[in-house]
Amino acid sequence: MAPAAAVAKPPPKRRRALYPRRLPYLLIAPAGLLMLGFIAYPVISVFYYSLQHYNPTKPWRNGFAGFENFTHAFTQDPMFWDTLQFSVKWVVVEVGLQLLFGLALALIVNQTFIGRGISRAMVFSPWAVSGVLTSVIWVLLYNSQTGITRYLADMGIGSYGTSWLSDTGTVFSAAIIADLWRGVPFFAILILADLQSVSKDLYEAAEVDGASRFRQFIHITLPHLKNAIVLSTLLRAVWEFNNVDLLYTLTGGGPAGATTTLPLYVANTSVDAHNFGYASALTTVAFVILLFFSILYLRLSKFGSDDK
């Protein structure tokens, strides 16, 4: 098409063609419909079923339940409190340790040294490993006959015979270490990205002032990283709360329910016990907890308020 012809066209018509009012709706329609159908609708149906007795294997009880499912969870179901407590413990320990190690690791690989590129690649690599594959790897490591625990026992750490995963005393630490292995790189990557945007001038000024390296870290680096840390810990906490891949495949919630998180309990209740009404009520409780926690966390940390 010759440019001259295009310019000769009357401008009003062209403007209407370029700014059609329906176009943006047309463009977001595929995404919107997918999310309405496969996220919004399931969420609403969970809310609906949380107020129902609904169990395909016991159809004679099905019907409106009011808040019975909720009162049952809060007053008569010790598993609910146990699994909720374990979830909180799991999330706090995981996110805390991942942040600590991730921050330390990011500070280290942010220095200039020989072999930095390859070190970064190696240190970050478990990040791409799936939950199931992490389980496979750590099942091999924790195997009591041929795993690394046997060699550790040779050196006097731990004992022969039992796998760390089948002993209620060690299973928590064992699962925590496995999840740390793949979780630390997430924080290290995000914090490293943010570290690279700290202005060098600030450090030079602090240096001239005679501030020690530790005080530079406290007064320059940490405040700079604050928003990244708040956001990444929140995302990670929600993710760790919700994610079941690792524990489902590594311990299956056992031994004797010692590593069952609330979502794992919900999955068992709905999938194995078919008690879908009750599982929906538990899901609703989990939603509310997550929402409340997120809002509280963002408020308390004054997220985004110190942008200068």
Partner 1 sequence: MITQEAPAPTAGAAAGRGRPGPRKARRRAWDEVPRWQIFLPLSIYLLFTLIPFYWILLFALRPSGSTSLIPWPMTGEHFEKVWTERSFAVYFQNSVVTGVASLLMTTLVALVGGYALARFDFRGKRPFMLGLLCSQFVPGALLLVPLFQIFAKLQLINSLTSVVIAETVFQLPLSMILIAGFIRNVPYSLEEAAWVDGCTRFRAFCTIVLPLLRPGLIAVGSFAFVHAWNHFLFALMFLSQQDKQTIPVGLNTLMSADSVDLGALAAGGIIAAVPVVIVFGFIQKWLITGFSSGAVKG
- Site residues (CB under 8 A) for partner 1, limited to 135-174: 135-141, 143, 146-148
Identity (one letter) of the amino acid at 74?
F
Taking Cα atoms as reference points, which of 238, 246, 223 lies closest to residue 302? 223
* By the rule CB under 8 A, 291 interacts with partner 1: yes
Task: For residue 52, list its beta bridge partners.
Answer: 64
Contact flags string 224-243 toward partner 1, x per CB under 8 A: -----------x--x--xxx
Distance of closest approach, residue 140 Cβ to partner 1, in angstroms? 5
Distance of closest approach, residue 9 Cβ to partner 1, in angstroms? 8
Instruction: Give DSSP secondary structure letters for 7-60.
Output: HHS-HHHHHHHHS-SSHHHHHHHHHHHHHIIIIIHHHHHHHHHHTEE--TT-GG
Q: 86: which 2 tokens?
A: 């374990």
Within residues 177-216, the interface with partner 1 by CB under 8 A covers 181, 193, 201-202, 205-210, 213
Within residues 70-129, the interface with partner 1 by CB under 8 A covers 101, 104-105, 108-109, 111, 113, 119, 121-123, 125-126, 128-129
* Residue tagged 């609904």 (tokens): 54
Among 85, 130, 159, 173, binds partner 1 (CB under 8 A): 130
Task: For residue 64, list its beta bridge partners.
Answer: 52
Within residues 251-290, the interface with partner 1 by CB under 8 A covers 252, 263, 266-267, 270-271, 276, 279-280, 283, 286-287, 290
Within residues 1-40, the interface with partner 1 by CB under 8 A covers 1-3, 5-7, 14, 17-18, 21, 23-25, 27-28, 30-32, 34-35, 37-40
CA-CA distance, 86 to 98, in Å (whole number)?
Answer: 18
Taking Cα atoms as reference points, which of 136, 135, 213 lies closest to residue 175? 135
Closer residue to partner 1, CB minimum distance, 16 or 61: 16
